[in-house]
Structure 1
Amino acid sequence: MTSSSVVWDRQLIDRYDLSGPRYTSYPTAPQFHNQFGEADLRQAITRSNAAGRPLSLYFHIPFCSTVCYYCACNKIITANRKRAMPYLERLMEEVARQGALFDRSRPVHQLHWGGGTPTYISDDEKRLLMAATREHFNLLEDDSGEYSIEIHPGDMDVATIGCLRELGFNRLSMGIQDFDPTVQQAVNRFNSVEEVRELVQAGRNEGFHSISMDLIYGLPHQTWNTFERTLASIIDLAPDRLSVFNYAHLPHLFKVQKQIDESALPSAEEKLLMMERITEVLLGAGYVYIGMDHFARPDDELAVAQQQGLLQRNFQGYSTHGGCDLVAFGVSAISAIDNVFAQNHKQIEDYQGAIDAGRLPVVRGFELSADDLLRQEVIKQLICQFELDFVDIECRFDIDFKDYFAAELEQLQPMAADGLVALTASGIRVTLAGRLLIRRICMTFDAYINQSRSEIRYSKII
């Protein structure tokens, strides 16, 4: 893929802007089931050790001092920071228990702390958790891994940036969302431009490789005119990567969203205008469109990986490190090991109870079939590279692509006629107009998408 641009075609967006998965995994989480248990996970780890792939580690730290009304994360809201240590003790026990199952020589290429707000815990608690991780897993000590952490700019001391770098983190992800005071009040999320600027400067002084910022459009009281000011401030701060997410208002699923005044939410028309202008402004500012609401500077590793055909996608989003088995720790965390997904208990009491009982805290999961693995790779190639080579898939999976996916290729014909994709004798290429609708294109290859659609709620594609 050589172009970093997109084409905004409103007619195509109106026609294809359905609800659909974000494909951080395939099959997606609604397919997980509770017939999957600890024995299945242990067997997957045994196969994983035989394969010897590098590892990616994810840690879920669910605590936040205040609640953000838009949030759909698994979180625990408490101002009592003493609640963190009992959880961290169980988390470190899980690290030890899982670490004993993995070949100690396998390098950790990727590490991520998410939440919640990982920086909620004290610097000493951070040191304890990272020390336990180093004890049981083979962390890289040459700063070559992708070791990232999510931070809330309005809820941390700038001195913590130095601690994070000391611990081995080299990438920061900041949840900004919006700088407008009215919007911040409406969603109970506060961080000023000055606070963010101080953290960004500290991160650069400490030698962080990449600074990423998250924004959300579609929040109450947002218009393009208000959000344009936020975007101007963001461009001035010059993050290496940007994620601009569409707010999905699903109060029936996430009770905290009931705090949001629905009458203040921007119209669908305004949201489309916002995303169109956001894309236009960021491309004009020199950012590359990676896909799925993500942008990066042309020299950022994410953009370079895409240009080289090496971009990956996992539960944390786009990634530069592929071929890793993902080992996840903490409440609700999802591992992807060999050919299985395994999710921990979602409730902290159940998670801690499983640890205290001497078990791995897995509660449900999914074992991928040969067909699942094939479709997973097809979707990954399309969503990461915007193109797919039939011969490559045929050689890797021993199939005839046009025969195996005859029905799917037929379903793509209207999209080809509308200019979303180009179908050739050798493959599929997503057009500049189709890139914004990549989720809809990928849904064609999703064998589960039409099962129980009435029971599964997804966000709108745009």
Structure 2
Amino acid sequence: MQNSLLAKYSGAVPRYTSYPTAPHFYEGIDCGKYAQWLGELGAGQDISLYLHIPYCDRLCWFCACHTKHTLKYEPIAAYLKSLKREIARVGSLVSRDAKVSAVHFGGGSPTMVAPEDMVDLMKALRDAFAFGDDVEISVEMDPNDLDEARYDALAAIGMTRASLGVQDFNPKVQKTINRIQTFEQTKSVVDAVRARGVHSVNCDILYGLPYQTLETLETTVRDIISLSPDRIALFGYAHVPWMKKHQTMIPEDALPGIEERFRQMTRAATMLVEAGYEPIGIDHFARPDDRLAIAARHGKLRRNFQGYTDDAAEALIGLGASSIGQLPQGYVQNMPATGEYERLADADGLTVVRGIELSEDDRLRAHVIEQIMCRFGFSFNGVRSLYPQVGEVVIAEAREFCARNGDGICEIVNDDFRLTEAGKPFARSVAAVFDSYLANGKGRHSVAV
């Protein structure tokens, strides 16, 4: 039965960190529209900031992020100047009555930024935006970049969460994906950030990597558990060489098949639950006292471009090349090409080149898809309350899907649409049922398991 479900529901679908998804953004959303939307943010609204650093001193072959390789600091220094111009311009358009509740530094490798430049970057943010109390500041970290000065700089900017990509500790797997990172290196980072008062550590693990086996993955999971991270993300490797050319460096014949990927996923998840972590959505795990676990238990779990979050901010402002922003009115994306981004930022400060304005149907489907991804179902009464004009359309689709689905992956209970235990591993595929854009063929996606 399980193999037949895998064959049917493991096809390529979006990860649904947004809806509509990025392939459906269009050029009609420009800097003028973005400036208008920013100006409409006001009193009582929380905002999150995401800063993208699109540079790495090594390229990991598995990575699907927007980044480029450099061994020189000059390109990073030039980029930071343009980034600060964008920060100042965007901040000038946002009311000081809107407060920053979270800042996330992503990449690429934000820890490539020199210590003094990281401190200067945070000063630019605080000068441009009004910060609330107890702001969460998270940084994606590469252990190979870090030294005492960088640790001190991250402490100086008030980092509260450190996020470490681990993937797999097996040397053969690491060599194949060009990510050499020992357990000892990783432990040293965890110890260093905790010694500086960081209250939350996240580790990423990948399954489905070349030459990865159940045994190598089990060893990695045990090693990660020994570090006692507060959160663990268990991602399936997304092989998208048509989009990220460096992934052609990975030998496809060394990749595990769908059934092996599923075994790896379920085994790792079982180990994490047995170690006391609570499952969060489709691929996150957290200690019971972690804010993510608490949000999930209270029905307040959210999903955005950083994955699962407890961040309740109404607006996510993306800063830097390729960054995507999520505002109440819709989505915007900055110029992806770094050189062109710098030119636009230096000229005007705004760099948006595309996006999408949300219709009422978009908002309805975004709500339903987020509910499925976060809570494995949605309430019909909740839909009717939030979207009285259009909600019945999706309710009818849910009833029809359950009626014709003979695989036992979903059910309707007490006027709620729910995934069964058999259906939960295929939440992305079920969410795709409610995606009205997917059939138009824009974009190619990774497998759902």
Normalised-by-shorter TM-score class: over 0.9
Contact 1:47–1:338 (8 Å) recurs in 2: no
Report how far residue 424 of structure 1 moved.
2.7
The residue type paired with residue 119 of structure 2 is: R
Report how far residue 209 of structure 1 moved.
2.0
Match of 2:56 among 59, 64, 87: 64
Match of 2:7 among 14, 30, 46: 14
* Structure 1 residue 303 corresponds to structure 2 residue 297: no
Report how far residue 402 of structure 1 moved.
4.1
What pairs with 1:297-446 in structure 2 (closer than 5 Å)? 297-399=287-389, 401-402=391-392, 405-415=395-405, 417-446=406-435
Alpha-carbon distance between aligned partners in 2 of 1:77 and 1:400, rounded to the nearest angstrom: 47
Match of 2:34 among 36, 41, 57: 41
2:202 counterpart SS class: strand
Report how far residue 9 of structure 1 moved.
4.5
Identity of aligned residues (%): 39
Q: Which residue of 2 aligns with 1:197?
A: 187
Alpha-carbon distance between aligned partners in 2 of 1:443 and 1:186, rounded to the nearest angstrom: 32
* Cα pair distance change 1:395/1:225, threshold 3 Å: same
The residue type paired with residue 274 of structure 2 is: G
Q: Which residue of 1 aligns with 2:439?
A: 450
Q: Which consecutive unaligned segments of at least 5 residues does structure 2 have? A: none
Contact 2:92–2:128 (8 Å) recurs in 1: yes
Match of 1:225 among 204, 215, 219: 215
Contact 1:152–1:176 (8 Å) recurs in 2: no
Alpha-carbon distance between aligned partners in 2 of 1:426 and 1:408, rounded to the nearest angstrom: 11
Match of 2:277 among 287, 296, 310: 287
Q: Which residue of 2 aligns with 1:5?
A: none
Contact 1:70–1:257 (8 Å) recurs in 2: yes
Alpha-carbon distance between aligned partners in 2 of 1:298 and 1:56, rounded to the nearest angstrom: 24
Contact 1:287–1:298 (8 Å) recurs in 2: yes
* Structure 1 residue 138 corresponds to structure 2 residue 130: yes
* Structure 1 residue 253 corresponds to structure 2 residue 253: no
* Cα pair distance change 1:178/1:81, threshold 3 Å: same
Contact 1:63–1:84 (8 Å) recurs in 2: yes
* Cα pair distance change 1:158/1:421, threshold 3 Å: farther
Q: Which residue of 2 aligns with 1:3?
A: none
2:40 counterpart SS class: helix
Deviation string 1:86-114 (CA, Å, 9 cap, x unpaired) is 11000000000000000012111111000
Runs of 4+ in 1 over 6 A off after TM superposition: none
Q: Which consecutive unaligned segments of at least 5 residues does structure 1 have? A: 1-7
Deviation string 1:329-382 (CA, Å, 9 cap, x unpaired) is 000001111211110111011101111222511111110101101111111122
Alpha-carbon distance between aligned partners in 2 of 1:396 and 1:200, rounded to the nearest angstrom: 43
Alpha-carbon distance between aligned partners in 1 of 2:89 and 2:44, rounded to the nearest angstrom: 19
RMSD, aligned α-carbons: 1.8
Alpha-carbon distance between aligned partners in 1 of 2:40 and 2:387, rounded to the nearest angstrom: 19
Q: Which residue of 1 aligns with 2:446?
A: 459
Deviation string 1:146-186 (CA, Å, 9 cap, x unpaired) is 22110012221255333212201100100111111111111
Deviation string 1:17-61 (CA, Å, 9 cap, x unpaired) is 221111110000010011221111122123333x74210100000
Match of 1:30 among 23, 39, 42: 23
Alpha-carbon distance between aligned partners in 2 of 1:401 and 1:87, rounded to the nearest angstrom: 45
TM-score by length of 1: 0.93
What pairs with 1:110-259 in structure 2 (closer than 5 Å)? 110-140=102-132, 142=133, 144-259=134-249
The residue type paired with residue 415 of structure 2 is: S
The residue type paired with residue 97 of structure 1 is: R
Contact 2:364–2:391 (8 Å) recurs in 1: no
